[in-house]
Chains A and B, each alone.
Chain A
């Protein structure tokens, strides 16, 4: 014989997954997320800065300026395409047509812009000009080429950062997106648990159910079943997110490849905690229109946790974030952010996970006990005191 909880869970999964709205929504989210990656990849190609510089140079000395400019471009990850003109007239025409962004006349020692001066390009040209002038002066002073290179391009400093501050934008972004995703999924599927519980009360089916299943088995099955559906959708979204990141070609910190899948774990914990609370809230009312009101305290707490992600959480290393990310109601939303930005230590993660697991167990115990007392209640909303005073409906 299959356990009653599993039967209840199976019903939830089948009934919900089969709904067209679920399939459409899941597919839509995955498509949107992947489309975001494709878009980023397309835009990303264009965003690699590139400039066209026209150089007027009668003598070959201009060639050296061109090669210095190109080298500076390579070193700064900027593409500088150069065109050498024999006459300044041809160069002026090219500038007017927009074929080149700026015109540098080596002999005249001028740079000419058509409309606005591009600050980045201007400073690149200045740097190039200084280097080229210095090289010319050094050669005139009789230095060898090797000596000139040693002056102009010395061995770079070896750089060490003792205590790097966590400030990677991509990591933060992924953390925020994860939190938003967790928030939406838990709110949505927690809402399903709430309405599912109230529906069973309002339709009266609860009485038939309870004649064969214990209240705690019913609750466990419902939370578990809806959780499986939620996890399915959430995993699809995370997977789409990973694919999207790969496609986009955006440079992301390596923590993300572990951190993002790890949000699935936090999702499970967060869902179990909040949906059990939603089930509890649902057991207090017997009419659909009272459901949102009963769940208001939980929804509020959850929203506060979400807002904290964007306020306190924007500094993943601060003391407030560290403390909050360990406390169960906040951990599921804050810890993923700290994990993808690499700000969380293993100890913190383990402590947060253990605390979350313990609070889930405690909540399930409490909810199961209240559930058994309140399920047969009909009519107006129960208070906490009223609920706990009611006798357990099931004869033990």
Chain B
């Protein structure tokens, strides 16, 4: 797989598909049996790895250490000198809105704030590449949006980001490109838009105002009813199908209040390609 520099790539797949192992091997935490990992065409050395920022899936910080000291410490371990580390710690505290908590012990912070510190640790030494393992897990929807915005800012500054998620659809708005793995193998890769459009299927979601959705019978055999309940009908149709044709067919059972004709979500494409029972 390739992560283009200066871009953000989503690394997706169900639990146990090998995402964490891949990320750990990039960070030099596990040795690889076969294959190679390079950064800008060079094999990754300890020195190069100092330009990487890492946020592991299982969060890791010192509970009893003060927040600012923690940031300075990790910046220094990543090779920054004392002055740069101090300045970067202050900058990131401010950016995360944690300046007033700088001298608190980490364990005194809420889990959302701890998550921010964890991200700040990954960023405090101005890395060129960010490896984020499940950065959105455990975050509330507002925090997810905040973090996405921050990542987009970093990418605009030229940082390359590889982030993993087992929730395939959560990242599609922030990652234009994704790599989807299953059981250690890449099953899909490329632009989210292309992957979805490449699918031979389209999904139709129609809310019918009056009339019984249970009465709907697909007029064409290649149309499948996925679900029907509470006045909402969900169909899967071939991508060659015309939206208007479906609309007309559904209108026959009653007036349509809401109608959507779209390429499948990433998770749906994923299930299509690896089969049911994977996620």
Contacts and interface: CB of A to CB of B under 8 A. Distances in A.
A8 B58 CA distance: 21
Contact of B56 (A2, A207, A212, A395): A207
Nearest to B64: A15
Given A11-B73, A212-B50, A203 B31 contact: no
A204 interface: yes
A204 B60 CA distance: 4
Given A15-B64, A393-B31, A212 B74 contact: yes
A376 B77 contact: no
Contacts of B69: 14
Interface stretch (B22-30, B139-147, B163-171, B224-232): B22-30
Contacts, number: 80
A136 to B, nearest CB: 84
B65 interface: yes
B258 interface: no
A1 B79 contact: yes
Contacts of B122: 208
Nearest to B56: A207
A62 interface: no
Contacts of B62: 15, 199, 203, 205
A14 B69 CA distance: 10
Contacts of B64: 15
A376 B28 CA distance: 12
B60 A394 contact: no
Given A7-B73, A204-B56, A208-B60, A15 B65 contact: yes
B1 to A, nearest CB: 18
B58 A211 contact: no
Contacts of B46: 214
B60 A207 contact: yes
Interface string B36-67: 00000000001001101011101111111100
B29 A203 contact: no
Nearest to B76: A7
Given A376-B29, A395-B25, A207 B73 contact: no
A6 to B, nearest CB: 10
Interface residues of B, number: 33
A28 interface: no
Contacts of B121: 208
A1 B81 contact: yes
A292 to B, nearest CB: 20
A207 B49 contact: no
B28 A394 contact: yes
A301 B115 CA distance: 43
A211 B73 contact: no
Given A2-B76, A7-B76, A395-B32, A211 B61 contact: no
Interface of B is mostly: loop
Given A211-B52, A393-B31, A203 B73 contact: no
Interface string B74-112: 101111010000000000000000000000000000000
Contacts of B24: 207, 376
Contacts of B27: 207, 210-211
Contact of B54 (A4, A211, A391, A396): A211
A124 to B, nearest CB: 66
B186 to A, nearest CB: 21
Interface in A1-33: 1-2, 4, 7-8, 11, 14-15
A207 B49 CA distance: 14
A268 interface: no
A143 interface: no
A205 B203 CA distance: 44
A58 interface: no
A394 B29 contact: yes
A213 B28 contact: no
A206 interface: yes
B28 A208 contact: no
Contacts of A210: 27-29
A159 to B, nearest CB: 64
A7 B29 CA distance: 20
A207 B29 contact: yes
9 contacts: A14-B69, A199-B62, A204-B56, A208-B61, A211-B27, A211-B52, A376-B30, A393-B30, A393-B31
Given A206-B60, A213-B77, A394-B28, 13 more contacts: A7-B76, A7-B77, A11-B65, A11-B73, A15-B64, A204-B56, A208-B56, A209-B60, A211-B28, A211-B29, A212-B74, A212-B78, A393-B30
Across the A-B interface, the 7 shortest Cβ-Cβ residue pairs: A204-B60, A205-B60, A204-B58, A207-B56, A211-B27, A212-B77, A395-B31
